[in-house]
Structure 1
Amino acid sequence: MKAAVYDNPGVPVVLEYADMPDPICGLGDVLIAVEAISIEGGDLINRRSTKQQPRWIVGYAAAGTIVAVGENVKHRTVGEKVAAFNMQGSHAELWAVPETRTWIVPDGLGMAEAAVLPISFGTAYHCVITKGQVRADETVLIQAAAGGVGLAAVQLARQAGAKVIAVASGDERQARLRALGAAHSIDRHNQDVVEEVRRLTGGKGADLVIDPVGSTLQSSLLALAPEGRLVFVGNAGGGALAVDLWQPMQNNQTLHGVFMGALFERPAVHETVDALLKTAAERGLEVVIDRTFSLKDAASAHEHAETAKPLGRVVMKV
């Protein structure tokens, strides 16, 4: 099979489109002929900084057709179209994944959208609904709202009845976020996020803040209302995650850290992703894709995802 691999971490050009052995389908695995690959933030971080074994195939998320199943597989069959998540290996023509980390792609949903949805929307749902416990009368601040998780969080918070304040740079990106349900948008390059949130909430602050950036955690806390909740997920900004905890203690605020990983195999989370896929197929949610590349152009795709500030996810087709 062909795959995008690297020997040593670094800039996008370390990725090479190369011949690799076909993966072995384990007893509990399904073997997927990959059709669409979603480039996730973790893929970029791993490629940039994580030393693995030689000829490493990066990638968390993809969708395709099952071409083989392991002996112990009970709920998947050859020929079914699935979206999948695993800790590596999606940047390839074939991908062996535990069946518990796959979801049936419903009729009416494209494979590119199916590849993107589980991580972006599954993570956003866990942040906004499960941990964030958003309520209809609340104000939600979403940092990095133009990213995959941010775009999903805007839609889910709005559908829950909350007033959404979205942080993103550029008029076009802000307009798109407002079209997706944000009541207000803040340009982080031209406006002070904390001051704007205070102004928009009459000095109170946001009841819930979703922060997938990491480096913005201190400003997220400053924009948070007393007794509010901050959910931080990922570290797209890089660097150490450090905040002054004196203020949240004084203001009785709650901080939730979210790292999905194996949570996707939990029955409740797995079922939530099933429901989100069906909602997207019925056009109740919009999966935003910024640009599509070919797998053979993985280095260019990673470069775009890393430097072009895309609106939504970057996808590769096989």
Structure 2
Amino acid sequence: MKAAVYDNPGPPTVLRYTDVPDPVCGPQDVLIAVEAISIEGGDLINRRSTPQRSSWIVGYAAAGIIVAVGENVRDRRVGQRVTAFDMQGSHAELWSVPVSRTWLIPNDVGMAQAAALPISFGTARHCVITKGRLNEGETVLIQAAAGGVGLAAIQLARQAGATVVAVVGGRERQARLTALGAAHVIDRFEQDVVGEARRLTDGRGVDLVIDPVGSTLQASLSALAVEGRLVFVGNAGGDGLDVDLWSPMQNNQTLHGVFMGPLFERPAVHRTVDELLNATAERRLDVVIDQVFPLREAARAHEYAETAKPLGRVVMTP
């Protein structure tokens, strides 16, 4: 099969499109003929890390058609459309993943949407609802609101009855975020995020912050109200996660760290992805795709995902 692989960590140019052996479908796995691959933030970080072996295939998320099932698999069959998550291997024509990390795709959901949904919307829901405990009438600040998790969080928070304050770089994205449910959009290039968050809440601060950036954690804490909650997930900014915890202690604020990798197989979390897929099929959620590249141009797709500040997910097709 064809795949995008790398031998040494580095920039997007380390990726090469080449022939590799087909994956083996284990007894608890399904083998997927990949039709859409979602480039996740973790893929970009992992590509800059030392691979476990040569010709390593990066990639967390993809969707396609099941072409084989393991001998112990009972609830999947050949021909079904599925989307999947795993810690590596999605940047390829074929992908073998544990059946417990797959979800059936409703008929009215496209492959690109399905590939991008589990990580972005599954993560956003866990942050906003499960850990963030967002209530109707509260105000939530969403950092990096134009990213996949941010766009999902806007929609889920608005549907929960909250006032959404979205942080983004550049005015040209404001209309799209507003259409998805943001009541206010802060341009971090031109405005002081903390000052605006305080102004919009009459000095009180926001009830909840969702922060997938990491390097913005100190500002996120400063924007919080007394007894507010901060949920931080990932480290898209690439810097250290150092913050001064004296103020959060004094203000009785709560910090929740979220790392979704080990959570998707938990039954409750797994079911939420099914619910989100159904909501997408019913047009109650919008999975935003910024750009689609062929897999043979994986290096260019990664470069775009890293530097172009896409609105939503970047997808590749084999």
| TM above 0.5 | yes
Aligned residues: 318
Does the residue aligned with 1:265 lie in a helix, a strand or coil? coil
Partner residue, 1:150: 150
- The residue type paired with residue 128 of structure 1 is V
Partner residue, 1:4: 4
TM-score by length of 1: 0.99
Partner residue, 2:131: 131
Partner residue, 1:102: 102
| Matched-pair contact (CA < 8 Å) for 2:120–2:148 | yes
- The residue type paired with residue 222 of structure 1 is S
| Matched-pair contact (CA < 8 Å) for 1:207–1:224 | yes
Q: Is 1:201 matched with 2:210?
A: no
Partner residue, 1:178: 178
Alpha-carbon distance in structure 2 between the residues aligned to 1:82 and 1:242: 39
Q: Which runs of 4+ in 1 moved over 3 A?
A: none
Which whole-Å deviations, capped at 9, do the CAs of 1:133-168 have from their partners, x for residues lacking one? Answer: 000110000000000000000000000000000000
Does the residue aligned with 1:30 lie in a helix, a strand or coil? strand
- The residue type paired with residue 288 of structure 1 is V
Alpha-carbon distance in structure 1 between the residues aligned to 2:49 and 2:100: 29
- How much is the aligned-residue C-alpha RMSD, in angstroms? 0.6
Partner residue, 2:236: 236
Partner residue, 1:262: 262
| Matched-pair contact (CA < 8 Å) for 1:140–1:206 | yes
Which whole-Å deviations, capped at 9, do the CAs of 1:203-226 have from their partners, x for residues lacking one? Answer: 000100000000000000000000
TM-score by length of 2: 0.99
| Matched-pair contact (CA < 8 Å) for 1:34–1:95 | yes
Question: Which stretches in structure 2 are left out of the alignment for 5+ residues?
Answer: none
Which whole-Å deviations, capped at 9, do the CAs of 1:174-227 have from their partners, x for residues lacking one? Answer: 211011000000000110000000000000001000000000000000000000
| Matched-pair contact (CA < 8 Å) for 1:7–1:52 | no
Alpha-carbon distance in structure 1 between the residues aligned to 2:251 and 2:5: 48
Alpha-carbon distance in structure 2 between the residues aligned to 1:27 and 1:241: 40
Which whole-Å deviations, capped at 9, do the CAs of 1:247-266 have from their partners, x for residues lacking one? Answer: 00000000000000020000
Alpha-carbon distance in structure 2 between the residues aligned to 1:24 and 1:49: 25
Alpha-carbon distance in structure 2 between the residues aligned to 1:50 and 1:167: 33
Partner residue, 2:67: 67
Does the residue aligned with 2:78 lie in a helix, a strand or coil? coil
Q: Is 1:34 matched with 2:34?
A: yes
Partner residue, 1:18: 18
Alpha-carbon distance in structure 2 between the residues aligned to 1:219 and 1:87: 31
| Matched-pair contact (CA < 8 Å) for 1:8–1:52 | no
Partner residue, 2:306: 306
Alpha-carbon distance in structure 2 between the residues aligned to 1:205 and 1:262: 32
Question: How much does 1:49 deviate?
Answer: 2.9
Alpha-carbon distance in structure 2 between the residues aligned to 1:287 and 1:254: 30
- The residue type paired with residue 234 of structure 2 is G
Does the residue aligned with 2:48 lie in a helix, a strand or coil? helix
Alpha-carbon distance in structure 2 between the residues aligned to 1:199 and 1:180: 22
| Matched-pair contact (CA < 8 Å) for 1:134–1:160 | yes
Partner residue, 2:275: 275
Alpha-carbon distance in structure 2 between the residues aligned to 1:267 and 1:177: 31
| Matched-pair contact (CA < 8 Å) for 2:170–2:188 | no
Alpha-carbon distance in structure 2 between the residues aligned to 1:235 and 1:50: 18
Alpha-carbon distance in structure 2 between the residues aligned to 1:51 and 1:111: 28
Which whole-Å deviations, capped at 9, do the CAs of 1:43-91 have from their partners, x for residues lacking one? Answer: 0001123333110000000000000000111111000000000000000
